[in-house]
Copies of this chain bind each other. A is one copy, B any other.
Amino acid sequence: MAGAIRLAAGVVEGSRAALSRAITLVESSLPDDFARATELFVELTRQQARRPTAHALRVGITGPPGAGKSTFIEALGRQLLDGGKRLAVLAVDPSSATSGGSILGDKTRMHALACHPSAFVRPSPSSGALGGVALRTHDAALLCEAAGFDHVLFETVGVGQSEVEVANMVDMTVVLLPPGSGDGLQAIKRGLIEHADLIVVTKADGELRAPAAALAREYATAMSMLRRRWRGWRTPVLTCSSHSPADVRAVLGCVRDFHATALRSGRFEQNRSEQELRLLFSAVQGELAFRLRTDARINALIREQHRRIVGGEVAPRVAADCLSTLFVERMRGGQSAQ
């Protein structure tokens, strides 16, 4: 617990080393670290109660491979920093749980951001952390906020389902699309734009300026036919060259506009509240599944039913129903026989 107090204090004081250690703790797959991370958050809440911190804006930046995400984030990040903001960039790799490998690679290539005193760049986490991608990502965002970062960007590769997971963790989803696109990208793009709060067609300079503008018009038409993300916000479509400060400024203006609109309408708080409820369900569910397998007393009840199944006394479905009914009755705090 002493360690948690010190680490929490370090995070709140804005120590980068403490923030790094805290995120590592959150990403760890060791059960001991899981417990220590929980202690850390107890302590963090206690310390923040004395010194409340503002919520940061959490922006998910996603797009298919080759959309130019890193270059765009670096350009956007510089303008935020120039405007006096404090910026954290975290790589999320929802694929790692299944593929075992990182498809984002090493994020240390964002040199300009990584060296800036008001920026914090964190490479892709290792796979297999307890608690799932959602809890881990959410906790990392909370840590960055506690450390005083007012903008947290999550970089993720949009490949299939991952963008849904990311959209579930952030306040705003920005989808980057490259102008040149084979047919193979169509399905990915369709999935991506459904969760977009802002669409940016990237690489809009030189030879690609015209195709980028044409693609943006197509998407603008498509978006005008889709249902609004929520009342008061229709997903805009912009073109952007990451080498054009004016283009990047326009994107940033759109992000600010979204933030203001979402705050004003109550959508911002409502979205966070819904995310936190989903997070709570999935975290409790994951913990219960883990304990079914590891808690000796609970496991003994399951093995007793298993013996009955093997002995032909009961069908698996019926045994599962007996156990579920017993466990649910007990969880409800009802009077249940030992």
> What residue in chain B is nearest A313 (Cβ atoms)?
B45
Interface of chain A: mostly helix, strand, loop or mixed:
helix
Contact residues, A311-331 vs B (CB, 8 A): 312-321, 323-324, 327-328, 330-331
* Given A305-B280, A331-B298, also A317-B41 (CB < 8 A): yes
Residue from B138, B306, B310, B315 within 8 A of A41 (CB atoms): B315
Q: Is the CB of B316 within 8 A of A283?
A: yes
Chain B residues with CB under 8 A of A230: none
Chain B residues with CB under 8 A of A333: 297, 330, 336, 338
Number of residues from A at the complex interface, CB < 8 A? 60
Most buried by B among A44, A302, A327: A327
Chain B residues with CB under 8 A of A332: 295, 297-298
Q: Is the CB of A315 within 8 A of B44?
A: yes
Most buried by B among A37, A38, A323, A328: A328
In the complex, A313→B313 CA distance in Å?
49
Chain B residues with CB under 8 A of A305: 280
A94-125 Cβ-contact flags toward B at 8 Å (1 or 0): 00000000000000000000000000000000
Q: Is the CB of A38 within 8 A of B297?
A: no
Chain B residues with CB under 8 A of A283: 316-317, 320, 324
Q: Is the CB of A45 within 8 A of B328?
A: no
Chain B residues with CB under 8 A of A319: 280
Contact of A257 with B by CB under 8 A: no
In the complex, A135→B321 CA distance in Å?
12
Contact of A276 with B by CB under 8 A: yes
Stretch binding the partner chain, chosen from A187-195, A212-220, A286-294: A286-294
> What residue in chain B is nearest A277 (Cβ atoms)?
B306
Q: Is the CB of B320 within 8 A of A293?
A: no
Contact of A265 with B by CB under 8 A: no
Q: Is the CB of A328 within 8 A of B38?
A: no
Q: Is the CB of B288 within 8 A of A38?
A: no
A83 → chain B, closest Cβ, in Å?
A: 27
Residue from B37, B291, B330 within 8 A of A317 (CB atoms): B37
Contact of A131 with B by CB under 8 A: yes
Most buried by B among A138, A269, A281: A281
* Given A331-B330, A338-B333, also A317-B284 (CB < 8 A): no
A158 → chain B, closest Cβ, in Å?
A: 18
Contact of A139 with B by CB under 8 A: yes
* Given A38-B317, A315-B44, also A285-B288 (CB < 8 A): yes
Most buried by B among A52, A131, A269, A330: A330
* Given A291-B324, A297-B332, A297-B333, also A318-B277 (CB < 8 A): no
15 contacting pairs across A/B (C-beta < 8 A): A38-B317, A41-B315, A45-B315, A49-B312, A52-B312, A139-B316, A276-B316, A283-B317, A287-B320, A288-B331, A291-B324, A297-B333, A298-B332, A330-B330, A333-B338
12 additional A-B pairs beyond A280-B319, A283-B320, beta carbons within 8 Å, are: A44-B315, A131-B317, A135-B317, A273-B310, A276-B316, A279-B320, A284-B323, A284-B327, A285-B289, A291-B328, A295-B331, A330-B333
Going nearest first, the 4 A-B pairs with the smallest beta carbon separation are A283-B320, A287-B324, A41-B315, A297-B332
